[in-house]
Amino acid sequence: MNYAEILEKIYNELEPTLGEGSVANYIPELGKVTPDQLGISVCTNEGDEYTIGNAERLFSIQSISKVFSFALAYKLEKENLWKRLGREPSGNRFDSLVLLENENGIPRNPFINAGALVVTDILLQHFDNPLDEVLSFVRSISGNPNIVINRNVQESEISCADRNYALAHFMKSYNNINSNVDHLIKTYSGLCAIEMTTVDLARSFRLFSTSGCNPWTHERVLTTSQNKRINAVMMTCGLYNAVGDFAYRVGIPAKSGVGGGIVGVIPNEMSIAVWSPALDETGNSLLGIKAMEMFTTLSEKSIY
């Protein structure tokens, strides 16, 4: 399979449409990103890497960080985690409040904002500084010790975090948040403000394509069963309320973020990350989804 040729074909086909969609601007710093960019990076389990376009440009990973936090929290809490969280798609916007009252403050899944706030709360119970713990986890699985948090993006998100504050206070009223809410939002916004490139993301997601082993040290990080389950939750909940359409068009477990990144896994074969900051109406990268769809179509690789 010539992946370099496939990436070239995808880039050439999408290049004339670069910039279609709109960058997220509800977080002011994200609104400053130039929309007409596209980067793609693929890492096979054998260690071969292919890139094209703006694959090495840093961007805000936003909700993709929810996979890293969830993996750490799941490792710590094991099945106990599910006492405070569900694992069903929400069918609602990522920052929606509507289901929480009917469901007694238990978020539908770890990848909507409410769920990620509970996961962050769990990390705050286990660690003095969860931001350092998640950063060192991400650095270790990506093989890049230079990954950092963009403090401007973190501050920018805190300045307009009314919905996340509302979610956190509401869940606290059901005793599903234990931390101080200001501290929780600061930590959660810091996690979302981690900056990575598609190369970093594809490398780090080899953890999930190699059944839970650190791709660099080969040390086991997750049990094969935990790894299967994390991939399953990405498959069913990773693309906001467009997860069904993504399964239909792309057919792999993946997670998107409002920074325009999407990273996915073809279990036991490879990981693929795309970034294009202009989003569609569901908050997913418009060209990112098209690029992923073309990749699984042209390579004839998916989980189905």
Tell me which residues are annotated as active site. Answer: 63, 66, 188, 240, 258
Nearer Cβ to ligand GLU (28/267) = 28
Please, what is the angle between helix 162-173 and helix 113-126, to 10°? 70
Nearer Cβ to ligand GLU (6/233) = 233
Total residues interacting with ligand GLU, rule: CB under 6 A: 10
* 50, 94, 208, 295: which one binds ligand GLU (CB under 6 A): 94
Could you say whether residue 257 binds ligand GLU (CB under 6 A)?
A: yes
Count other Cβ atoms within 10 Å, centred on residue 169. 12
Cα separations in angstroms, 140 against 59, 196, 219, 223: 19, 13, 11, 17
Task: Tell me the one-letter amino acid at 274.
Answer: V
Rounded to 5°, angle at Cα 59 from 62 and 286: 75
Cα separations in angstroms, 284 against 137, 152, 153, 236, 244: 25, 22, 19, 15, 13
Least distance to ligand GLU, CB of residue 131, Å: 14
Distance between first and last Cα of the chain: 18
* 164, 176, 187, 204: which one binds ligand GLU (CB under 6 A): 164
> What residues from 5 to 64 belong to the interface with ligand GLU (CB under 6 A)?
62-63
Distance CA 204, CA 268 (A): 14
* 7, 123, 184, 192: which one binds ligand GLU (CB under 6 A): 192
Nearer Cβ to ligand GLU (63/271) = 63
Could you say whether residue 200 binds ligand GLU (CB under 6 A)?
A: no
> What residues from 278 to 297 belong to the interface with ligand GLU (CB under 6 A)?
none
Residues that bind ligand GLU (CB under 6 A): 62-63, 94-95, 113, 157, 164, 192, 257-258
